[in-house]
Amino acid sequence: MSATPTPERKKVTTTSLRAKKERGEIVTMLTAYDYATALAIDRASIDVILVGDSLGMVVLGYDTTLPVTMDDMLHHCRAVARGAKTALLVGDMPFMSYQVSTAEAVRNAGRFLQESGMDTVKLEGGREMAATIEAIVTAGIPVMGHIGLTPQSVHKFGGFKTQGRTARAAKRLIEDAQILQDAGCYSIVLESIPDRVAEVISERIAIPTIGIGAGPGCDGQVLVTHDLLGLFDRFTPKFVKKYANLHGEMARAFAEYKAEVLGHSFPAPEHTVTMDDAEWKELLNSLSPVADGVSQAE
């Protein structure tokens, strides 16, 4: 009996994401910043890979996402694009790459597609970003919105704080989501907002909402992969579930490696390259003798 071939997975697109929402299927999204992680996420059939500017905090060690540059983002996006073949790839526009002028925003958004293999871009902000989003979408570049706790506004918020807790703030978020949809966004990230508010937004707009700290009523979920894997141990937001403790596992592996090297049990014969005896003898015969008490390096 011949084996049934595994069906080729189709590339996820902005329209296939929308179709998922229409069919009531949940969208999955994770962040990646390098080739190996992108490959593993893609093989797990996660729908969307976001090269988030969370890069600044979980990979580059900054306290906020603000220092991340276009060059940082494009470098990591290229690595992710080499690893992922089917997930929809989203490049996160870093702080000050889209706020100064619409022309600069369109040019920088274009660089994600032209120079780093991304399929779409994401940017933070509500109604104040509508004209910018429209211009980027008009240039043929799909845009994912991001409202709620938008980390690039950390200083405006006075910290990484949940948004939309009052009726007034929640209403503004609901309006913002509608405005972003009208501006042409194909999807919106809802970060750290009350679950009931996220559910209302998800019911009222036709494009998929992707929640992080926004409860189960969103059309999809996203986590920062370093949080999910337990790789980032500086702090863990309440909404993160750790599915592994890779930081602990790394510490264990590094300590074991050190002990084995110091104890001469690594490298063992199976990790060692040997040389044919005849070649070895020929080499020894060809070498001039080492002078007594003087090393060859001297």
Give the residue numbers annotated as catalytic, written as ranges: 191
Q: Which residues contact 211 (CB under 8 A, 6 or more apart)?
A: 189, 190, 191, 198, 217, 218, 220, 221, 222
Q: Which residues contact 285 (CB under 8 A, 6 or more apart)?
A: none
* 87 within 8 A of 47, measured Cβ to Cβ: yes
Alpha helices by DSSP H, the chain: 14-23, 35-43, 55-58, 70-83, 102-116, 130-138, 154-157, 167-183, 195-204, 225-228, 246-262, 277-286
Nearest distance, CB of residue 281 and ligand KIV, angstroms: 60
Q: Report which DSSP code applies to 141.
A: -
Q: Report which DSSP code applies to 219.
A: S
CA–CA distance, 9 with 12 (Å, rounded to integer): 9
Nearest distance, CB of residue 57 and ligand KIV, angstroms: 8
In this complex, which beta carbon is closest to ligand KIV, that of residue 42 or of residue 92? 92
Q: Report which DSSP code applies to 119.
A: S
In this complex, which beta carbon is closest to ligand KIV, that of residue 105 or of residue 210? 210
In this complex, which beta carbon is closest to ligand KIV, that of residue 52 or of residue 125? 52
Residue ranges binding ligand KIV (CB under 6 A): 31, 50, 52-54, 92, 146, 189, 191, 212, 222, 224
Nearest distance, CB of residue 72 and ligand KIV, angstroms: 12
Nearest distance, CB of residue 56 and ligand KIV, angstroms: 8
- The DSSP secondary structure of 45-68, one letter per residue, reads T-SEEEE-TTHHHHTS--SSSTT-
Nearest distance, CB of residue 31 and ligand KIV, angstroms: 4
- Select the residue whose beta carbon is closest to ligand KIV and give its number: 52
In this complex, which beta carbon is closest to ligand KIV, that of residue 91 or of residue 194? 91
* 206 within 8 A of 181, measured Cβ to Cβ: yes
Nearest distance, CB of residue 54 and ligand KIV, angstroms: 3
In this complex, which beta carbon is closest to ligand KIV, that of residue 20 or of residue 146? 146
In this complex, which beta carbon is closest to ligand KIV, that of residue 159 or of residue 269? 159
> If 0-12 CB within 10 Å is exposed, 13-18 middle and 19+ buried, where does residue 97 land?
buried
